[in-house]
Structure formats: structure tokens, C-alpha cells
Structure 1
């Protein structure tokens, strides 16, 4: 079936386009009517000198090795809650805002086809380097407007409905059982600490779990086949792409003017990951065909098989994007959860108490039924996302003229929305420097939940373009944390005053040689 016609038919089935369009039109009219001559012009928004800003990223400059959080926060102190980050070398200016009303205004006016620019190096590769594969299907990461809307509508039922994940509970439990055995193999028999490079092991676990969803196969990188060349290529490239994107598309870069070494490395990385994924998916299809010819009944409920029914190209692109968007971010989140629990043993004990009631034995398999009853587990993960925000925020390109912090911002302007930074501010979250999973649960006395300030807790984005992999990440994180804390008491006996840095996404700034002590029960 043709991809776009298939997407169109699914979009008609899914449905909420009319109400979304109505809401979008209403928001646009409200925004338009609120713009008056009293508002300041776009040119009056505070901003640094373009050449001084560029110099700050060069060797010896203030921001040479700075993360996005470090340099945006430094500029916030100088210019306030809204300022312009100057564009250069082919990149337009970006407006950066930390104002919740601005964030809401941008989201409320994003329309049914929100536009998120900022990954130009990937877009260029898909449009101009490998159009033979991508063609009119750019993927959710790179596509915009109606093409994005049709693709998103086609694959939403696959990713956003809980029933699509049922088949992964047992294999994910088994993958985590294998990871537990790996921990026992590599930890020091005396100190019970794992090696300094344990973050690599965590990344392998996450890659194995997401690879199960993306490619319908277990790669074996945890223990069984650690030197699998194809899997290692995908593993490494999925981790490299975000770092290269940060250098090319966030920091000042001349790649749009001349072919820089960093862009050439990005092109090789994207080509390598594409070639291996095509090879793997062909092997999958060949194996399935042999099984069908042998008369074997095939389960076609996997996410990959359902994507193949839409279009094999869609399957290739989404499989790659699952790894590209998911491996590093999820691995860092898992490191952060383990760190929070190790530094707050009372919270770890409370979580384990919940898990013991659901998982009577260490090797208990998790399923859809028993995972419903783990509110404290989910609160721990949610509080970790607040305590260690997984990035700066998100981007949107204004679909209409809007007023942000009293300034007239024209249609087509890219806005960097610093919502994640707000999660550590007392204005929005009482006792922000304390790790309190209980803040996400109902008060046992009043039965009420904490009122979260709108547009401050958006770790997976907001609206039609929110992260499509949220449910997959939730399942992966809940399964892994449950299995690890049921089997081990986790400690971290090192300095953890600045454990993470945020480049494009948050990533470790230190090593994590956690101590894993077996639970006797």
C-alpha cells in the first residue's frame, strides 16, 4: 500500500483532527487579537552581539565546552527570561524563553501540524544525501507540515496505545534478568562495586531493550554476543548522532557553507546506521518468509510488523529513530534513577516494599496485570525526571505571529522553550532540591495530588508532537527499575554533586561504579 494513502486512511480513522483544528484556529484568533501597537517589536528583544556570541564558542571562549544549559542559563542571568540567540552560518535567530505564559502561548498556537526545526543536518542528509531511501517519507524527526501529520496519524495507533506493548513484557523481563547476571559477573567480589565504565553496560541494556521493539530481535550485546558487529555499529551510531547534532545544529557551525569534518563524520555515521538497519530488516523478512513457507503461524502484532504493513520504508526509518532518540536519553535516565535511589535509601526501601508485594521472587516475570499496581515506582521515575531534567526543553517554530513577554514575535520564528529548567525552581516546585517521589502521589490524609504548575513538567514534550516513544520508554524504565531494585540494594559511595551535564540532552559527567548488594529474600 502507498505510504501516504495508508497514512491518510489511518488519519481518517483516528479522528480528532477537526476538534484540534478548531482549537488551533481559536487560539490563533485570540493571539492575533491580542497583538497591539503597545507591544515591543521583535528587534527590541534583548540579545548578545552576534560576533561576540560566536567568539564565545571558539577556543578560549566562555562557552567553548559549555553545555546548552550552561550557556543558556548564563545568558538568562544577563538578559532575563527572554532573549535572542543569534543565528549564523545559515541558521536563523532563535528566541529563548523561560516564561511559562510564553511556553503556553507557543504550544497553544502550534496548530495540528506543529513545526520543530533544529535538526537541519539530519534533514539535509535525508533530503539530499539519501533520497533513495527517504524520498517523501522523512520520518517524524525530520518531516514537517502535512507530511508529518499523515505519518504521525498512521503510526500513532502503533506507539500510543497500551495494547501494542503487551507482547514485550515477558521478553523485556528476560532481558533484565540477563542484565542482572551481567552485574553479578562484573562487580568486584569484595566491594560489590561495578566497574567505572558501567554506563556502557547500562547503554547496552537500553539498546537491547529498544532493539527488541525496533528490530524484533535480541542483539545479544549484554552477554551472549557482545561483539556482534552489526549490533555494535547500530549501538555506537545511535549514541554518536545526538552529539554530532549538537555540534552541527545547536552550536555555531559552518557546515552549511563548507563541508566540515564534523559534518562528514555525521554523514558517515548516518549512512552506517542506515545500511545496517536495512540489512537487519531484510534478514527479518527473509526469516519470516521461510517460516511462513514452512506453515508456521506468524504473530504479526509486533510494532515492527505493523510498521511494515504501512510501508517497509517507514519501518526502516522508525526503527532507526527509536534508537537515535531513545538509547542515550533512556540510559542516562536509568543512571539518574539509580543515583537518586542510592542517595536516598529511605525512598529505595519504600520502593522495594512495594515491589516485594508484586514480585514474590527475584526472577518474577512482569506482565500487564501486575505492573498496574506500582504507583510508587512511577512516582520515583517521574521525580527523577524533575530532579535531573533530561534536557533543556524543546523547540517550536511559530505558526502565527504571537506575543511573548510583551514582544511581537513573527510567524516563522524558532523558539527554544526552557520548560525543563523550571522544574528545579522553588517558584513552581516546593523544596525543589529534595528528591520527593511523594509529591506525585495523593496525600494519604487529604486524598489530593500536588498541583503542578502548567507548562513546567514537560519531559516528553506537549501536544500533537510530543514524544511518540513515551510509552515504550515508560515500559522499559518501569521494567528495569523494578527488576534491579527487587534484586539489589544499590549504593553510590562517590561524590555526586555534579553528576550530569546537558549538551543536547542530559548525559553523565562522572562515572557510576554503583555498589549492588544482593537482596536475600
Structure 2
């Protein structure tokens, strides 16, 4: 899966870097216009620019240049300092990360990654699954924690379940119902006079996404939006998924000695993963018991759901994937939904244009969305795509070099960890004309010429590309398209506050401000 923005703006003066924390904002990171710097003569790996290891450690310590800053802020600053390729030095058991912003490099890596692409594993996460709990994860550590042939076998088993559109058919109606419940929740919690939702509305969006993903993970609606907000096991998972990502950043991205001593963050992560596993096992057991009761009562049950198909492959695989769906999906998808709503709220003419499209497909507010009605919504998809560009999630994609390769004129040996920092290119004016503007039209054909705006595909990889692209892409598309369609059909959305820096980033994007959206009912 893919990664997002920046918690501070970086100003470059005479080669030095000054943190501008008061105006910290991913959308305003200074991006250099360094051109691809391949040279005729290949230079050795040791000449790739990099900060020293001591400098790197100090920069993330209290009082350091990048203390409490995101990896995106750090990478942006290093790009300005060194150019389109540099090294984040490895230490404490972690190898170097060669980071490139060159589209030529990015294309070269992806076109030569092979059928079993390998990527840097988040070692603490992998350690838990292979060393702490091999009883559960021994044969199925999951797509995030496996490599080579083991990864290939798991991915081959899951692709027919996750990557084929027909597998999503059973979720259209329940997703519509979940979003109808979310609409009722908005009406319950918004202020009667201002029509604004409370400061913690992101928590409500996360509940919406949790319930949406639970359709796949646990084969049922959990009711976390209104009916069953305090379900004990669901609440454990809901609270734990965010903490896991934080610990991954602290242990596997920032300098950490957890491989040598059990640091407090490492111990906390093990505890969180243990609690999450128990909760997921309980929910899956409960789901199977409910399913069996329905069968015995003669009720019609869906034996073609994603969960049941995973159970047919291997029940342990179903446990692993149910957890990974939530770990990877809840925060990323809820942040994407907030970004789409924010973009539309700040661009009411685009919101109006989207509503015109929706009114043709959804003549009434309670229109159930299905496979047929969802086909013809090009502007909706363009809106979501542009929101992904406008607020990119993280730094980019990770890979391990399968062979020696030349990147930006430097020799990079086999086995090197690579970061393709394509996400920061999404806000680069050299690749996107009027990059500072929210323009869904850039993804559509011009009505007069029939042509699309030319865009380098290797600057837009929010879900990755190739064999190891995000397996949940189709599921994310469906849930976000459904939620945005239902919300904009039912409400005029406004945001009457400063939105110049709405997100911050550690490893992935997270809200930096309260999302007090104003939801005004559409009359017809």
C-alpha cells in the first residue's frame, strides 16, 4: 500500500534549511526543480549524496531540525539540499534507503521489478508475526510481511478475491445502507443552528470506514456508527489501528534501537498487536457462529463474500487479511474521505458540478447505489483522483533492487532499499500545471478536443503499480465513491475555517485541524 504529506514547511536559504513550524503544511513544501541528473559516466554508490549518520540521528532528536517532523518533510528538505537522489542512512540494523524523485528512475525500477517484487519490510511488524506469534502467522505472515515466492503464492490466492470487480457486487447495497446510517448520524450530531459537526468529526468518519471495511473483514455490519458504538472487540480494533502505524514509524523509519533492546515503543507495539489479534479472532468466530445460525434457521446466506472465499483458501489467512484490511484501510481511507470533502467544500463550483452528475444517477436521496448506477460517474472519480493528488498520502513506494541498476547516473547494487518519492511530485508544478489548484477536469477528456491533459503516469502512483500494487484499491474505490456520492447528494458541504494546513504527517497523513464541516440538507 502507498504514503502522505508534510508537517512543516521548509525554507532554503544559501544551502541551509530552516524549519517553519508555525506555517507547517504539506501543500507548501518547497520542491526543487532539479532535473533528471543522469550522466554519461556511471558514478559509484558511495558518491550518492547523503547526510552523515550522526547528523541523521541528531536531526530527529529533541531540539533537532526534524524532531517531530514527518519523513515527507525530511525527504523534501534533503531533495532541496542534494537533488533528486540521496540516501537516508541506515543504522541500528536498518539498511540505507536510496530515495529518488526522478521519474526516469521510478519508471526504470517498476519496469524491471519482476513477478515477485520485493520491498523493505517494516521489521518490527515482521518480527512480531514471524518470531512472537508464529503459531498464527507461521504459514501466512500476510502480504505486508512476506517476500519472494511466499508473497507470490499468497498474492495469487488473494488476487481473484480482491482484484476482480465481480467480487464487490455483494457490497453495493450494504455500503449504501451504512452510508444512509452515517447521514442520519450527521443529522444527530450537527449543531441545530450552525449545522456544523463537532470537532471530533474525523472520529465519525473513521467509524464509517471501519464499518465499511468490516463488511469484508468480518462479513457483517458492525454498527459502529450508531447501533453498536461500544462493541468491545470492534472498539479495541478501532482504537488500535492508528496506534500500530505510529509505532511502525517510530520503530522502522526513525532511528530506533529496538533490534538490540526492547524499547518502550517496541513493547507497546507488541501489546497493541496482541490485543488486535485477539479482538479479530473473537469477531471472526462470532461472525462464523452468526452465519451458521442463519443457515440452520433456513435463511439465505451469501457464500460468495470475500471473507468466505478467504476462509475456503485458509482460515488463518482470513484472520491475517481481516487485520491487514483494517490496519491499512481505516486511517488512510477516512483521511481520503476528509480530503475529498475539504476540496469540495473549498471549491463549491466543483461540488455543484459533481451534484449535477449525481442527480442524474440518484434522482432521490435514498437511491440505492448498485453496479449499474455506479458505472457512469466520471466526474465523481475525477474528484477523488484529484483529491488524492492534492493531498498525497505519504512519501511514495518502497522496493528492493532485484539487480544492479543505474539511477540518476549512480550505480545502485542489488539488494538496495529504494524509496520512489513519487507522491511529492503530485504537487510539483513541473509535472502538474496549476498544481496549487483543485482541478478534477485535468483527469477528464476535453469536451471539445476529446484529449486528456498529458500526465506522466510515474508521478501519480497513490496505490503503487505492477504486481505489488495495493490489493485493496478496488475496495477503497468502492467505499469512497459510495460515501462521497451519498454525502454530496444529500448535503451541501461547507468548511468555514482556515484550511491552509489541514494535515500533518508522521508516516502517513493525519488531520492537523478539526473538520467542523457544515452539512446543509439538499431540499430535493
Give the match for residue 30 of structure 2: none
Deviations 1:227-286 (A, max 9, x none): 111110011111211111111111111111100110111101111111111111112222
Deviation at 1:49, TM superposition (A): 0.9
Give the match for residue 15 of structure 1: none
> Secondary structure at the residue paired with 1:314?
helix
Give the match for residue 366 of structure 2: 363
Distance in 1 of aligned mates of 2:76 and 2:436: 18
Q: Does 1:80 align with 2:83?
A: yes
Give the match for residue 19 of structure 1: none
Distance in 2 of aligned mates of 1:465 and 1:277: 25
Query: Is this contact kept in 2: 1:118–1:395, CA < 8 A?
Result: no
Distance in 1 of aligned mates of 2:145 and 2:301: 33
Q: Does 1:493 align with 2:500?
A: no
Query: Of 450, 457, 461, which residue of structure 1 is paired with 2:460?
Result: 457
Give the match for residue 427 of structure 1: 430
Give the match for residue 63 of structure 1: 66
Query: Of 98, 101, 106, which residue of structure 2 is paired with 1:103?
Result: 106
Deviation at 1:116, TM superposition (A): 1.1
Query: Of 508, 511, 517, which residue of structure 2 is paired with 1:508?
Result: 511
Give the match for residue 393 of structure 1: 396
> Secondary structure at the residue paired with 2:374?
helix
Q: 5 Å matches for 1:251-266?
A: 251-266=254-269
Give the match for residue 440 of structure 2: 437
Structure 2 vs 1, CA of residues 511 and 471 (structure 1 numbering), >3 Å: closer, same or farther? same
Deviations 1:388-424 (A, max 9, x none): 1111101001111000000000000000110010011
Larger relative contact order, structure 1 or 2 (CA cutoff 8 Å, min sep 6)? 2
Give the match for residue 221 of structure 1: 224
Query: Is this contact kept in 1: 2:39–2:409, CA < 8 A?
Result: no
Deviation at 1:509, TM superposition (A): 1.2
Query: Is this contact kept in 2: 1:113–1:144, CA < 8 A?
Result: yes
Deviation at 1:446, TM superposition (A): 0.6
Give the match for residue 478 of structure 2: 475
Give the match for residue 304 of structure 2: 301
Query: Is this contact kept in 1: 2:40–2:409, CA < 8 A?
Result: no
Give the match for residue 281 of structure 1: 284
> Secondary structure at the residue paired with 2:375?
helix
> Secondary structure at the residue paired with 2:197?
coil
Deviation at 1:291, TM superposition (A): 3.5
Q: 289-298 vs 127-136, which deviates more?
A: 289-298
Structure 2 vs 1, CA of residues 97 and 36 (structure 1 numbering), >3 Å: closer, same or farther? closer
Give the match for residue 92 of structure 2: 89
> Secondary structure at the residue paired with 2:467?
helix
Give the match for residue 214 of structure 2: 211
Q: 5 Å matches for 1:122-161?
A: 122-161=125-164
> Secondary structure at the residue paired with 1:193?
coil
Structure 1 unaligned residues grouped into runs of 5+: 1-34
Distance in 1 of aligned mates of 2:364 and 2:123: 49
Distance in 2 of aligned mates of 1:245 and 1:174: 34
Give the match for residue 47 of structure 1: 50
Deviation at 1:54, TM superposition (A): 0.4
Query: Is this contact kept in 1: 2:158–2:310, CA < 8 A?
Result: yes
By percentage of residues, which structure has more helix? 1
Deviations 1:351-409 (A, max 9, x none): 00110111111111100000101110000000001111111101001111000000000
> Secondary structure at the residue paired with 2:395?
coil
Q: 5 Å matches for 1:304-315?
A: 304-315=307-318
> Secondary structure at the residue paired with 2:86?
strand
Query: Is this contact kept in 2: 1:126–1:138, CA < 8 A?
Result: yes
> Secondary structure at the residue paired with 2:195?
coil
Q: Does 1:348 align with 2:355?
A: no
Deviation at 1:57, TM superposition (A): 0.6
Q: TM-score, normalised by structure 2?
A: 0.91
Q: TM-score, normalised by structure 1?
A: 0.92
Deviation at 1:504, TM superposition (A): 1.3
Deviation at 1:315, TM superposition (A): 0.4
Q: 114-123 vs 291-300, which deviates more?
A: 291-300
Deviation at 1:38, TM superposition (A): 3.0
Query: Is this contact kept in 2: 1:392–1:502, CA < 8 A?
Result: no
> Secondary structure at the residue paired with 1:56?
helix
Distance in 1 of aligned mates of 2:296 and 2:346: 55
Distance in 2 of aligned mates of 1:335 and 1:293: 42
Superposition CA RMSD, Å: 1.3
Kindly tell me the number of residue pairs found equivalent between the two proteins: 487
Query: Is this contact kept in 2: 1:176–1:480, CA < 8 A?
Result: yes
Deviation at 1:217, TM superposition (A): 1.4
